[in-house]
Structure formats: C-alpha cells, structure tokens
Amino acid sequence: MQFVAEVGAATERSVAYVGGLALLFGKSVRLLFFSPLKRSRLLQRAVHQAMAAGVSALPIVTLITFFVGVIIALQGAYQLQRLGAMQLVANLVSISITRELGPLITAIVVIGRSGSAFAAEIGTMRVTEELDALETMALDPVAFLVAPKFLAMAVMMPCLAIWSDFMGVLGGCVFGVASGSFTFGSYAIATRDALAAHDIATGIVKALVFGLVITAVGCQEGFSTGAGAEEVGRSTTAAVVVSILLVILIDLVFTTLFYLARGTA
Amino acid sequence: MAEPATTRAADPAIAVRGLRVQYGDREVLHGLSFDIVHGETMVVIGGSGSGKSTLLRTLVGLEKPSAGEVRVKGVDIAKASARALDDIRKKIGLAFQGGALIGSLSVGENIALPLLEHTTLKPTTIEVMVRIKLEQVGLSGFESYSPAQLSGGMRKRAAFARAMAMDPEILFFDEPSAGLDPITAAGIDDLILDLKRAYSMTIVVVTHELASAFLIADRIILLDRGNIAAIGLTQDVRESKLPRVRQFLDRVADTTQDDDVDHLRMYTEGIR
C-alpha cells in the first residue's frame, strides 16, 4: 500500500509540474498578445534573448551536428559496404539527421546553454529579490522575463534545427566524398532524392516544441528556486535533467505519431 | 511635524485592518490594525522575527493576507485586479534591503527601467531624470556602472533612486541602514529626512536601528512577535512606560547603550 501511495503521490506531482509548465506557457502567450508592457521593449528583449540562445549557439551546434553527420555516415558505411550499398549512406544520413538527430542534438545543446541559463538567471533574481523588485515596479516577471524567452526560442529553435540538418548532411557528404563513393554533386542529388518535405517538416515541428518545453522548464525551475545560492544550483541541475527527460519523451511521442500517421496514409 | 496627528482621520494613505499573514501553518502577523496618513513618516521597528519585513511585503502586495485587509490609497490590494494593482504599484516605490537592482542592467538602466516601461517620455528626458535621481542620492556619474561594481551602501542608494524614479506618492524602505557603517547610515537618514521635507512624501521605513528610527520617524510602530506592542508619536513611544516597549528599547540598550545614545543626541539636538 505504501508503494501505491508513493507512486500516486509522484504521479500527482508530475501532473502538477506539467500543468505548471502549461500555465506558464499559456500566460506568456496571453501576455505576448495582450502585453501590459510596451511591445517595442518586449521585442527588444526577445531579440536580445534570440541572440543569446540562438545565434550564439551556432558555432557549437555547427560543430556537433557536423561530426554527428560524419559519425552516422561512418557507422552506416560499416554495414552498407558489406551489402555493396554505399549509395544508401546519403539516405541514411539525411533521414536520420533531419527526422531525428538534428532537432534532438540541437535541443540538447540548447538545454545545456540556455535552459540552464534561464533557471540560473531567474533563480538568482529570486534569491536577490529582483523578482520582487520587478513586481513592485508593476513589471510582471512573466511578461518581463519569460514571454520574450518563449518568443525567442519559438523562432530560434526551428532555425537552429534547419541549420543543424544542413551541417549534419554536410558531415555525411564530406565522408561520402572522402570515401570515394560520391562526388559533392552526386551526394547532393542522392540526398535530394532521399528526402521528402515532411522529413524536414517533422523535424522542425519537433524542434519548435522542444524549444517551448526547454523554456518552460528552465523558467519554472527558476521561479521555484528557494532561498540561497545552493538552491540556484539545484534549480539549474533540475532544469537540465527535467528538460532532457521531457524532450526525449516528447520525441518518442512525436515519432510514434508520425510513424502511425505514415502507416495509415 | 505635528501635522499627522490632525489629519489622521481623513482618508489615510494606507489603512490596515485585522491583518493576519501566515506562511504555511505558522502565523507571522496576528491581526494588526493601523493607519498611515498622507505625508507622514511611519517607522516600523522590531527585532528579527517580529514580522516587520513580512508587514512591509504585505503592504506592497508581495504577500497575501490570510485575513483582514490592506488598503493602499483606498484600494484593497489583496482583492485588486492585476491592472488595479499595477496602477497602485506605479504610485509606490520600494527600496529593498539588498538593493535588488537588476544585475543584467547598468545602474542608470535600472533607474530608467520603470520610466521606459510605464511612461511615454523621450529617452533624452529619461536620461536627464536618471541623472537627477542619481544626484539626489549622491551617485552622480555612476550611470554606466554595473550593480555588482558598487559597494553595499551605494547599491542601497541606487535602489532609493530607482524607488523614486516614478515620483511615487508612497515610499517604502526595507532596512535602509542595515549593514552600513555609521557614516553611510547617517547619510541615508539625512537622505530620508530630505525627501520628507522636500516632497512631503508618505514614507514607510522598516528598521531595527533605534537611533535611525527616532531620528526620521513622525510616528513609530513597535512590532513584537507579530503584534503591535506600541504605536504612537516618536516621542511617546520613546518615553513609553509599557513593559514590553521598555524591554525592547532597553534590551537593545544593554549592548550598545553608549554608542546609540551618543549617536542619537548628535542628531536630536540639532532638530528637536
């Protein structure tokens, strides 16, 4: 019985947590459209966030997805070579990168860079009473801090995902050319033939949702920070761990849905 | 300085009735009732754990009362809509104990923030206003510094400037002189006295510094474990014969008697 009660309590907490994320998202969207603050200033803050969370993430996303592209091509070639199907390396790389690894790796990099930063920023502001100060200045912390982050991430995550798709494919291409099975031209054509628009689209939709989840978790963990510097560390850790878990779970759900949708189509 | 007593009945700036606040199961304030009238300086004193910080947070709507009500300029802030609460908050300023300046903005940007968000003033006008506010608190030329580059006392003063940015009708100070050296603390007392004289603002100060309290207050509330132990004109509280009041005042005097009395005399002789 004890066990059942514990499972029940944990379930309740999880549902409440996800409910909190949804509320935070809902409130932010409402405040984006009916902002009590000045729209121009809100956009300014969103651009600032987009620079920090999106543009500054480009170098690391570029490097990692390029290498992942090479790695997939290498691993694929290992098997495909035996079947004499080296031509299929381009298919393997392009589909696994655009549908899965591009958005997922982007999300994990962004969790490490920005999800943790959101939690640390808001958590520190909680500890130093800056959140209270914003409130007493009639600046709603959600409108002031969270809404611009959602906006920035909703724009930047799909952009980063597209870029990482490109870099992943480029990585595969470099291996393909180096292995002598392809020229740049033939690899490009093979990739074009292998990819359907919905491969890229599903990846981009996933990236968008990942971005929203990362923002919601990072900000919620920040707001729930208790007193003291140690608590900021705890929030930051929780933001990263919970974000990764949720992103993988959502990825599973989406991939299953897309798979089923394809089966019936 | 005798003004507050005569105007007390009419339309208080802040009216508190039967105010109770609790954190979880623990009640911190046990049914407080008092008025703060326009233009007076009310100082809330009390030891740590007396509930004075909670009282301040409740007055500005950061904590919700579990019973009773707080009316600021006639608006019940626990029941006010978000918009009505925002309207009230644009008319008040709160200087936090640690400053609570936004760390990602410069000192100047911190003070400009409420002006940029809530007014349609031109940036050049705001720049001038920021300069004036900083001059008032003796921080001219520190516009471009980051809050982290300032000392504790400077951060507090910058927070005063931000609290005053919107020319509020009611100013709240949380422990304005806590953790400061005596000279800086005296400077802050002077600053509050200046504000009081020059702008006849309603000022609410929460402090545990008796010397500072007696110097700046028109009236004093002594909080003791969530209850009002004494409320009245500064002079009356100081001379109160109530045992709990004496206990508080004397307990403080036990350790730092000489310093406090001297410090106090230095100021009071010049003013009263």
ipTM for the whole complex:
0.83
Q: What is the CATH number of the domain that holds B50?
A: 3.40.50.300
Tell which residue, B227, B226, B115, B95, has the closest CA to residue B157. Answer: B95
- Give the torsion sign (CA, A62, A65, A69, A74): positive
Which of B138, B167, B196 is a domain's end point? B167
Number of structural domains in chain B:
2
Which of B137, B167, B197 is a domain's end point? B167
- Residue-wise pLDDT for B92-149, tens only, equals 999 998 889 999 999 999 999 999 999 999 999 999 999 999 998 888 999 999 999 9
Q: Distance (Å, rounded) from C-alpha B191 to C-alpha B245?
A: 28
Question: Do both B205 and B232 map to the same domain?
Answer: yes
Answer yes or no: are the C-beta atoms of B128 and B134 closer than 8 Å: no
Closest chain B residue to A136, measured at CA? B89
Q: Taking CB atoms and an 8 Å limit, are B113 and A139 in contact across chains?
A: yes
Tokens of B261: 């009395």
- Residue-wise pLDDT for B38-79, tens only, equals 999 999 998 888 889 899 999 999 999 999 999 999 899 988
- List, in sequence order, the alpha helices (H) in A102-196: 102-110, 116-127, 130-136, 141, 147-178, 184-194
Closest chain A residue to B101, measured at CA? A130
Q: Is A49 helix (H, G, I), strand (E, B) or coil?
A: helix
Across the interface, of A135, A136, A137, the residue whose CB is closest to B113 is A137
Question: Do both B74 and B202 map to the same domain?
Answer: yes
> Percent of chain B having pLDDT more than 70?
88
Tally DSSP H helices, then E strands, for chain A.
12, 0
Closest chain A residue to B166, measured at CA? A137
Question: Do both B122 and B7 map to the same domain?
Answer: no
Question: Do both B131 and B180 map to the same domain?
Answer: no
Question: Do both B130 and B242 map to the same domain?
Answer: no
Residue type, B128: V
Q: Taking CB atoms and an 8 Å limit, are B98 and A129 in contact across chains?
A: yes
Q: Nearest CA of chain A to the CA of B260: how many Å?
A: 30
Host domain of residue B133: 98-167
Question: Do both B44 and B107 map to the same domain?
Answer: no
Q: pLDDT truncated to tens, each residue of chain A (265 aa)?
A: 788 999 999 999 999 999 999 999 999 999 998 877 888 889 999 999 999 999 999 999 999 999 999 999 999 998 998 998 888 999 999 999 999 999 999 999 999 999 999 999 999 999 999 999 999 999 999 999 999 999 999 999 999 999 999 999 999 999 999 998 899 999 999 999 999 988 999 999 999 999 999 999 999 999 999 888 899 999 999 999 999 999 999 999 999 998 888 765 4
Closest chain B residue to A140, measured at CA? B86
B119 close to A (CB below 8 A): no
The confidence band for B197, taking pLDDT boundaries of 50, 70 and 90, is: confident
Question: Do both B85 and B187 map to the same domain?
Answer: yes
Question: Do both B76 and B9 map to the same domain?
Answer: yes
Question: Do both B179 and B263 map to the same domain?
Answer: yes
Question: Do both B75 and B109 map to the same domain?
Answer: no
pLDDT of residue B263: 58
Q: Cβ contacts (< 8 Å) between B86 and chain A: which residues?
A: 36, 138, 140
Question: Do both B163 and B216 map to the same domain?
Answer: no
Which of B117, B149, B167 is a domain's end point? B167
The confidence band for B267, taking pLDDT boundaries of 50, 70 and 90, is: low
Q: Distance (Å, rounded) from C-alpha B146 to C-alpha B205?
A: 26
Q: Nearest CA of chain B to the CA of A119: how many Å?
A: 15
What number of C-beta contacts closer than 8 Å exist between A and B? 61
CA distances for B261 relative to B175, B210, B214, B241, angstroms: 20, 10, 11, 18
Question: Do both B184 and B259 map to the same domain?
Answer: yes
